[in-house]
Chain A
């Protein structure tokens, strides 16, 4: 694999972290705005994999 391809892949990885962050932010925003308890619980559950991925724990 040449150097430019490695660099591209690195940028794509960063892009995925950025995308995960933006989606997590939108989920957190909706969680903050939500008034339905069932909906809020579901937002928290969905946020778990997003946050763990951002923290690079998983």
Chain B
């Protein structure tokens, strides 16, 4: 059985690397390795009774079933990003940023705190750092530029705050995927996630953009897009108030309020944006553009589900879990802050169910607080979003802010100190998870 699982694992890794060499996208490479692993399992172990196309017990059925694993997460992802894109297109984001510059330009600390908050909201609602960069990154970058922050530090600040926004609650996709795999309800994560992600974002913003001059209002306003006529604070705030009300209603009246679910909450809030918008929004165009922008991320979630199903079916997932749970805790504490971001750079969200689930099992077995530990890991993962081969958020930040410097020599190097701070906080949360369990309320 062990030899069989090792062979399948080798087949999956080899086909993935081969497909990447042939310039296939990460998602299709993963799909190819999933099919290869499954086919190998069918032919190498005929005793399993599995066939390629037989209706009841076929490889095809397992692959399709796996594609449904993160279907709800896909719906959340699309609906939340659609909501944020509508807010941006209605001029809401430009209105908020212009108002911040106008009111707080002489008070640098308050201005930076509010810009950090603006960066945190889209990622916190969608679970995607790329969405944060694409919706508000350029606008916040323009204000930072007017505040005298150089290109390298500005791009690094946008990346780091976007990475932390992806980790911020209520939507943390790594925690959601790992929790789903470990049969752990996604409840109680808000406390530890908010402490780690907000601390990381604020430290990053002040470390990278703390020094400099007072914002040049004229320069900033000239470069920021004009919000449409008739927009005001109430129109911008209404969708967010509605969203917050629906999110809270289920908690305040758990037995009297129907379970709407996050995708429907975002869809209803999107309707409020459309109704409150001062301009006529091209809804279909915005939706198709949102889906196109999310293609790699939704694609990887669908494919990862299939991969996990095949790995579980063939015993590879058990093998990986076994190898992880026999590791000494001290080794994990000393290496996770490197392993998790690097694995994120390679596998993206796939890493959460692959590595996260056995680690959660191990931490739970050792008497640690599983929620605090998973929260700490979920904040470490997005740090790897600037690392190759995927580097999704890093590339998005560089493109959106038109960064001309060296990717590793300038941009990644500028991120190292904030990354070290986040890594240190997360490692401390891992080590002292039991003592910090009061945060998981």
The A/B interface has a contact count, at CB < 8 Å, of 76
Choose one: A9, A45, A58; the contact of B299 (CB below 8 Å): A45
On whether the beta carbons of A42 and B25 are closer than 8 Å, the reply is: yes
A38 to B303, CA, bound (A): 14
Q: Are A9 and B75 in contact (CB under 8 A)?
A: no
B231 close to chain A: CB less than 8 A: no
CA distance A15 to B246 in the complex (A): 16
Indicate if the CB atoms of A26 and B68 lie closer than 8 Å.
no
Give the residue of B31, B291, B299 whose beta carbon is less than 8 angstroms from that of A23: B291
A53 surroundings in chain B (CB, below 8 A): 68, 71
Secondary structure at the B interface, as helix, strand, loop or mixed, is: helix
Residues of B contacting A20 in the complex (Cβ-Cβ under 8 angstroms): 75
| CB atoms of B299 and A42 under 8 A apart | yes
Q: Which of A19, A30, A41, A52 is within 8 Å of B264, CB to CB?
A: A19
Interface residues in B30-85 by Cβ distance below 8 A to A read 31, 64-65, 67-68, 71, 74-75, 78-79
Contact B28 A22 (CB under 8 A): no
The answer to whether A26 touches B64 (Cβ under 8 A) is no
Given A26-B288, A48-B67, A12 and B295 contact (CB-CB distance below 8 Å): no
A3 within 8 A of partner (CB): no
Which residues of chain A (1-54) have a CB below 8 Å from chain B? 5, 8-9, 12, 15-16, 19-20, 22-23, 26-27, 29-30, 33, 38-39, 41-43, 45-46, 48-49, 52-53
Complex interface: chain B residues within 8 A of A46 (CB): 74, 295, 298-299, 302
Contact with A along B286-314 (1 / 0, CB 8 A): 01101110011011001100000000000
Q: How many residues belonging to A are interface residues under a CB distance threshold of 8 Å? A: 27
Please name 20 further chain A to chain B contacts, defined as beta carbons within 8 Å, in addition to the given A30-B291, A33-B288, sorted by A numbering. A8-B258, A12-B258, A12-B259, A12-B264, A15-B267, A16-B261, A19-B79, A19-B267, A26-B284, A26-B291, A27-B291, A30-B288, A30-B295, A38-B25, A38-B28, A42-B28, A42-B299, A45-B67, A46-B74, A49-B74
Instruction: Tell whether B260 is near chain A: CB-to-CB under 8 Å.
Output: yes
- A9 near B259 with CB under 8 A, answer yes
Given A19-B79, A42-B28, A46-B298: A58 and B292 interface contact (C-beta under 8 Å): no
Whether A45 pairs with B31 at a CB distance below 8 angstroms is: yes
Interface residues of A (CB under 8 A from B): 5, 8-9, 12, 15-16, 19-20, 22-23, 26-27, 29-30, 33, 38-39, 41-43, 45-46, 48-49, 52-53, 58
Q: Does the CB pair B31–A26 fall under 8 Å?
A: no
In the assembled complex, the CB of A37 is this many whole angstroms from the nearest CB of chain B, namely 10
Q: Determine how close the nearest CB of chain B comes to the CB of A19; give it in whole angstroms.
A: 6
- The reply to whether the CB of B113 lies closer than 8 angstroms to some CB of chain A is no
B3-29 toward A: CB 8 Å interface, digit per residue (1/0)? 000000000000000000000110110
Q: Are A12 and B267 in contact (CB under 8 A)?
A: no
Q: Which residues of B contact A58 (CB under 8 A)?
A: 64-65, 68
29 of the cross-chain contacts (CB-CB < 8 Å) are A12-B258, A12-B259, A12-B260, A12-B261, A15-B267, A16-B261, A19-B79, A23-B78, A23-B291, A26-B287, A26-B290, A27-B291, A30-B288, A30-B291, A30-B295, A38-B25, A38-B28, A39-B295, A41-B28, A42-B25, A42-B295, A42-B296, A45-B302, A46-B295, A46-B298, A46-B299, A49-B64, A49-B74, A49-B302
